[in-house]
Amino acid sequence: MSEIKPVALVTGASGFLGRHVVPALTRAGWSVRPAVRSPKGTDSEVVIGSIGPETDWQAALAGVDAVVHLAARVHYKNEEHAVELYRDVNVEGTLHLARRAAEAGVRHFIFISTVLVHGRSNDGRAPFSESDLPTPHGLYGTSKAEAEAGLRLLAQDTDMKISVIRPPLIYGAHAKGNFPLLARAVRLGLPLPFAAIRNRRNFLSVQNLSSFILYRLGHPDPTSDFEIFLLADRERVSTPEFIVCLARASGKSARLFGIPPNVLSTALRMMGRQDMNDGLIGSLELDTSKAMATGWQPQVSLDEGLRLAVSAQDA
């Protein structure tokens, strides 16, 4: 007689995070039901179209034990015109899914938020912690903070456990954003003007994110129905140190030269790259002691996570 596997519905299953989280869940004995916008031809997938306040989740949630909500509206070129888009997907879409999940008897809902609910930088301050009042940056960070607030209220009225994860920059094979740009520059041997930066930053490998999701699903807190966790690799490094580690993982030598950080920051802002300015020059440190106190430990080091990222990228 075959063992009945627990079922996890994963949104964003075909995206960067999903391409790592889905195999990790499968290896751990979960039966994964990918929720996709359009048919991908994968086993057990369920096509739900766009995520929003009117999405029909009934068939997707039938028999589901846990939901891992990875999907989100992350980047939009004309952000100032996208308030409703972020709200429909990241806030109302998330809360609609969570309500339908609770009604369907789902036991655990995991929501991937962002450290941007705290802001872009903690320069001159202590590392961010879960007890800090949210001070979100931009439409994306604000939408995630609003979704968190709605989930907290929902947890008070249902029996479904809700875990919120606030990660910093997540790196890994097939990542988007600044990481692949930086990896490509290192691979090409391009000189990079970051040698004078003396910041401290946390990063998160997609392997460590996947392992925490698995650990949280397997070790729910019996005393609380709603918990927030800041999550990161164990190491804190400066931007030039991160580039050196990335170069080493790529089998290259880092080519760094120094430009005063204030000059570099001004240049990046003039180029319209505020995201790169925020992500590479300022400090962003996280207090991850709460996640560690659950018994979870990072599965890979920064060096190993970067090696996995670039080796898979080159394969």
Which CATH number is 126's domain given? Answer: 3.40.50.720
Tell whether the model's pLDDT for residue 77 goes beyond 80.
no
What is the Cα–Cα distance from 30 to 34, expressed in whole angstroms? 12
Percent of the chain with pLDDT over 90: 76
In a domain, 195, yes or no: no
The residue segments making up the domain with residue 69 are 7-175+203-234+285-300
Does residue 140 have an active-site annotation? yes
In a domain, 273, yes or no: no
Sign of the CA dihedral with 175 first, then 177, 181, and 182 last? negative
- Confidence class of residue 126 from pLDDT cuts 50, 70 and 90? very high
In a domain, 144, yes or no: yes
pTM here? 0.94
Structure tokens at 148: 């968190």
The structural domain count of the chain equals: 1
In a domain, 53, yes or no: yes
In a domain, 315, yes or no: no
CB 305 within 8 A of CB 248: no
Tell whether the model's pLDDT for residue 275 goes beyond 90.
no
Angle at 139 between CA 137 and CA 143, to 5 degrees: 95
pLDDT computed for residue 22 by the predictor: 96
Mean pLDDT of 229-249: 97
Q: Catalytic one among 76, 86, 140, 171?
A: 140
Tell which residue, 59, 63, 72, 68, has the closest CA to residue 26.
68
Tell which residue, 289, 265, 269, 291, has the closest CA to residue 199.
265
- Highest mean pLDDT out of 12-16, 70-74, 93-97: 93-97
What is the Cα–Cα distance from 53 to 55, expressed in whole angstroms? 6
In a domain, 260, yes or no: no
Tell whether the model's pLDDT for residue 1 goes beyond 50.
no
* 3-state secondary structure (DSSP) of residue 311: helix
Q: Where are the beta strands (DSSP E) in 172-268?
A: 201-202, 204-205, 226-230, 236-237
In a domain, 1, yes or no: no
In a domain, 271, yes or no: no
Per the prediction, the chain carries an average pLDDT of: 92
CB 66 within 8 A of CB 75: no
Tell which residue, 269, 216, 249, has the closest CA to residue 107.
216
